Structures are given as structure tokens and as C-alpha cells.
């Protein structure tokens, strides 16, 4: 991560929006726009993420602006928290840096009919059972293995393929973004190396900021929307954060190798080679999109199997089937993905490729892609925080379509690199510190908890306040963690 902070222009538009004018750098096609409060802006300027916002504005076919959410921080090519929409009719490009290495990293929220008082006496037992049953850690495989032929079917069809194996039910599919399947996936474009990495990692948590948390709804801000989603104060939920594991990483790595020299081939001048891209309507662009969609479908299968293991663990500890515990999926959202969507730009409806890297789709009420049960309130927007504070549930608002191509933030956003967080944790027991706050945490290593300590992240409530006040998404409920498992 770069050590030097950003020193370029940032013009205040209003209390939650700042502009990098396209005059900042010759070659910028649009302005950069960063959603942030004044307090968050000081943290955002600490690294080169705003510079990356300006760099993304060079991409051919970019529409409206290069956007960044309030959880912005430095990433590969695009900042994490970056949003960019390109129009293929205007030579628009697709860029792996705008999706990230962990293709379709995302989060799902599962409710239950258990209340905090029901779970509190069994919390340690529950967390230990989850840690036993759910594989965590770098490169760790799990109990589900898929040979190449079946793995390709998973990548083509997404979690609906798991219904036949009795590892999913139809309502799980109905409450997943895009119903857990991007059309146009081409598993044959996924390399043998990626298939090898993915054969036993579907249903595993991984490491880094991925987690499974037992949470309690500790505040409700919109009782009507919460009721629609089956939530109330003091109710116990499970939040799952993971992605496409080694398979997705390999797809991204393979694609970046393939794209070396491609921008020059098409006469595309870029300020950063990490923005490697190809016209959407080119052989290279189509190759990446086919493989990326396949990896995204795999990620939805991964979170489905993680949820299934959580259901089984709850059933074991509480002695009742998960159906009796009413462990239903509230929703699953992707936050590292590129999708072909309809948006209005300049008064005209266009089909655009929307890159969301560390950003969450936030479609408003009455949008046809919102599940019918939520259409009156808007799409659920799930925002995980750090393991010591809180996570949030919001719903998309009309302002997201007007301002950000239907997008909101995706989390708290780092303020410390992983190496800095480890240094900050020297001589401390993060698990014991969390335990003093009533949070039982289990991880494969001391390093896993040190890297993800609460101090490594912005306060998620400040991030959520910005998207709420900007009219991108509306607060519904806050959930505090009581049990955490990590790699």
C-alpha cells in the first residue's frame, strides 16, 4: 500500500460529496466523485485511493463519473469502494481491476427465530461447533469436492445446481442477488489451474477479512422494512462473508496475464498498467467476461454451502432442524462484480457494464430485479463492519439510481494495512479483548485476528451515515457481533 497520501484537488459539492475535476489530469474523460463526510475525507486522503479514482476516469466509454463510496481505500488498479460504468456502444471497456481478485466476494444474512436470551447460554458451544464444521484459513479445502465436470456445471448454473443435492432450497435462490447466476458464464474459459484450486474450496471461508458471525439485532430504525425482512430487536442472525476463493483469484490472475499489451493493441492510453482492460466487444473482453461470470456463480455456491453448514451447526447445538429454527436467507449481495445493467444517463436509457469493486448493488423500491417480497421497500443492502463493533442492514433508495448506478458502500473500509495492524497488535490478545466485550472469537492463528482487529477499520456507522444521508440506501437495522469465526 502506498505510504504517501493524496494531495490533489478535492472540491466540496455538499456535506457528503467531493469532486476531483476532470481538469486535474489530461486524459480524464469524466470527473471523480467521492462520497464522504469531512471526517472520513481526512482518513481517505491518507493513501492514494483518490488518485486511483482519477485514474479510472481515463477508461474509454466511462459514463457520468468515476465514483467512490465512503469506505474507499487503496486497491489493485481501482480503489476498493470504486464504481465505474462503461458503455460498449461508445467503445466501453471491461477491466479486471474494477472487479478485483476475489471475484464476487459478497455477504449474506440469515435470520433465525432464536433470541439473544436463547443463545447466550450456548454461545461458546455454538461458536466452537461452527469453527469445527466450517473450514477456515488460507488454501483450506472442505468436505464438498467437485470433479471438473460437476464444477463446470456449478459455474454455469450457480447454487440452483445444489438443490438436487439437497444443499439448497428454492427460497435460497430467490433471495440471492441475480438469483445466484450471471447469464453468459463460460466455464470452458476457466483454466485447469483454477479448476484445481476450486475443486475442494466450495463451502470454505478462507482468510483475510472473510468471516462467519453470529449477530444480534441491537437496533431497528425502520420497523416496517425490518418486519418485511423478518427481523426484530434482540433476534439472532448469521452473517457470512466470503467469495470465489482460489478459483476466482486464479481467474483474475490468468486474465491479467492475458491482457498484457491489450490496451496498446486497441490504442488505449492508461495512467496505470493495473487498469489493464479490453473493449467489451473484443475477443479479450469476451474471454474475461465469460470466465468472470463463471467465477461469480462459483462464489454464490460457496456462500450457499457455508450457509448450509451454519444451519447444520445450529441444528446440532439446539437439537432442532434448521427449518424449525426458521434459518431463512434474508438476502445475499455481491460486492466485487461487473454486471450488464440498464441505467439512465443524460436522459437516455443505456445498457452499461457496471464495475463494483468493494461496492454493493442498492436497487430501489419497485425495481424489477428486487425480489417481489422486498419490492415495496427496496433491495436489502448488507454492510458488514469490523468484528468488534457492528454490521448494518439497509435498503436501496431512488437516489442510488440517480447518482451511483444503483450502488452503495460495502463495509467499513481499512485504515491500517495488514502489516500495520499486526504491528499494532504486538503483545496483545485480540480474542481476549473481544471476549471482554462479550464477543467469542475463534481463528486459525493469532495473525488472522490481529490483521482484522477493530482498530484496522473505519467506524462503519460513519460510512453508513454517508450513504443514508446521500439518499443511496436507508438504514433498517444494526447487528452487533457475539460470535466470530475467521481464518
Residue 135 sits in a domain whose CATH number is: 3.90.1860.10
Say if 160 falls within a structural domain.
yes
- How sure is the predictor about 3, in pLDDT bands with cuts at 50, 70 and 90? low
pLDDT of 1 above 60: no
* Phi/psi at 205 (5° precision): -85, -35
Say if 2 falls within a structural domain.
no
Number of domains making up the chain: 1
383-435 pLDDT, tens digit per residue, is 999 988 999 999 999 999 999 999 999 999 888 888 998 999 898 999 898 98
Q: What average pLDDT does the chain have?
A: 96
Taking the C-alpha atoms of residue 357 and residue 260, their distance in angstroms, rounded to an integer, is: 21
Taking the C-alpha atoms of residue 3 and residue 29, their distance in angstroms, rounded to an integer, is: 27
pLDDT of 315 above 90: yes
Average pLDDT over residues 10-26: 98
Say if 241 falls within a structural domain.
yes
Burial 198-220 (b: 16+ CB within 10 A, else e): bbbbbbbbbbbbbbbbbbbbeeb
User: Is 343 one of the catalytic residues?
Assistant: no
Taking the C-alpha atoms of residue 95 and residue 54, their distance in angstroms, rounded to an integer, is: 15
- What's the pTM? 0.96
103-131 pLDDT, tens digit per residue, is 999 999 999 999 999 999 999 999 999 99
- How sure is the predictor about 2, in pLDDT bands with cuts at 50, 70 and 90? low
Say if 61 falls within a structural domain.
yes
Say if 1 falls within a structural domain.
no
Given a contact cutoff of 8 angstroms between Cβ atoms, the answer to whether 240 and 334 are in contact is no
Give the whole-number percent of the chain exceeding pLDDT 90.
Answer: 90
Distances in Å between the Cα of 455 and the Cα atoms of 322, 417, 442 are 35, 11, 18
Q: 399: domain range?
A: 11-486
271-285 pLDDT, tens digit per residue, is 999 999 999 999 999
Say if 287 falls within a structural domain.
yes
- How sure is the predictor about 208, in pLDDT bands with cuts at 50, 70 and 90? confident
Say if 266 falls within a structural domain.
yes
Catalytic, out of 64, 410, 424, 468: 410
CB atoms within 10 A of CB 42: 11
Give pLDDT, residue 250: 98
215-245 pLDDT, tens digit per residue, is 999 999 999 999 999 999 999 999 999 999 9
Say if 3 falls within a structural domain.
no
Amino acid at each position: 500500500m502506498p505510504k504517501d497520501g493524496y494531495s490533489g484537488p478535492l472540491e466540496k459539492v455538499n456535506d457528503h460529496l467531493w469532486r476531483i475535476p476532470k481538469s486535474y489530469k489530461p486524459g480524464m474523460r469524466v470527473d471523480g466523485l467521492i462520497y464522504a463526510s469531512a471526517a472520513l475525507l481526512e482518513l481517505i486522503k491518507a493513501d492514494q485511493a483518490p488518485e486511483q479514482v482519477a485514474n479510472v476516469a481515463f477508461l474509454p466509454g466511462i459514463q457520468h463519473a468515476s465514483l467512490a463510496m465512503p469506505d474507499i481505500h487503496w486497491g489493485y488498479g481501482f480503489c476498493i469502494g470504486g464504481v465505474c460504468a462503461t458503455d460498449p456502444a461508445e467503445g466501453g471497456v471491461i477491466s479486471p481491476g474494477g472487479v478485483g481478485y476475489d471475484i464476487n466476494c459478497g455477504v449474506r444474512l440469515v435470520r433465525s427465530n432464536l433470541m439473544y436470551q436463547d443463545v447466550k447460554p450456548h454461545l461458546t458451544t455454538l461458536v466452537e461447533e461452527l469453527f469445527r464444521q466450517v473450514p477456515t484459513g488460507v488454501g483450506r479445502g472442505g468436505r464438498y469436492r467437485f470433479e471438473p465436470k460437476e464444477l463446470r456445471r456449478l459455474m454455469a448454473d450457480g447454487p440452483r445446481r445444489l438443490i438436487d443435492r439437497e444443499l439448497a432450497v428454492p427460497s435460497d435462490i430467490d433471495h440471492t442477488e441475480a438469483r445466484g447466476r450471471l447469464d453468459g458464464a463460460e466455464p470452458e474459459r476457466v483454466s485447469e489451474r483454477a479448476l484445481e484450486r476450486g475443486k475442494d474450496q466450495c463451502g470454505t471461508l478462507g482468510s483475510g477479512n472473510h468471516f462467519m458471525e453470529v449477530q444480534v439485532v441491537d437496533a431497528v430504525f425502520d420497523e416496517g422494512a425490518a418486519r418485511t425482512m423478518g427481523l426484530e430487536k434482540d433476534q439472532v442472525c448469521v452473517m457470512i462473508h466470503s467469495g470465489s476463493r482460489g478459483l476466482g483469484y486464479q481467474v483474475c490472475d490468468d486474465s491479467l496475464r492475458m491482457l498484457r499489451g491489450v490496451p496498446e493493441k486497441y490504442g488505449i492510453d492508461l495512467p496505470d498498467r493495473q487498469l489493464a482492460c479490453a473493449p467489451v466487444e473484443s475477443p479479450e473482453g469476451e474471454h474475461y467476461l465469460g470466465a468472470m461470470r463463471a467465477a461469480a456463480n462459483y462464489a454464490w455456491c460457496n456462500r450457499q454451502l457455508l450457509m448450509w453448514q451454519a444451519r447444520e451447526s445450529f441444528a446440532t447445538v439446539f437439537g432442532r432442524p434448521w427449518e424449525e429454527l426458521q434459518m431463512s436467507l434474508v438476502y445475499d449481495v455481491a460486492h466485487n462484480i461487473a454486471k450488464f445493467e440498464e441505467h439512465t444517463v443524460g436522459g437516455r436509457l443505456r445498457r452499461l457494464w457496471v464495475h463494483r469493486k468493494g461496492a454493493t448493488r442498492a436497487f430501489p423500491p419497485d425495481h424489477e430485479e428486487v425480489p417481489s417480497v422486498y419490492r415495496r421497500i427496496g433491495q436489502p443492502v448488507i454492510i458488514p463492519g469490523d468484528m468488534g463493533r457492528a454490521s448494518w442492514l439497509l435498503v436501496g433508495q431512488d437516489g442510488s439510481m440517480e447518482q451511483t448506478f444503483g450502488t452503495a458502500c460495502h463495509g467499513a473500509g481499512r485504515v491500517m494495512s495488514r502489516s500495520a495492524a499486526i504491528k499494532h497488535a504486538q503483545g496483545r490478545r485480540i480474542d481476549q479483548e473481544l471476549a471482554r466485550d462479550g464477543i467469542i472469537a475463534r481463528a486459525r492463528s493469532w495473525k488472522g485476528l490481529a490483521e482484522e482487529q477493530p482498530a484496522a477499520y473505519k467506524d462503519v456507522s460513519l460510512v453508513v451515515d454517508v450513504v443514508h444521508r446521500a439518499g443511496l440506501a436507508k438504514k433498517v437495522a444494526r447487528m452487533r457481533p457475539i460470535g466470530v469465526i475467521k481464518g
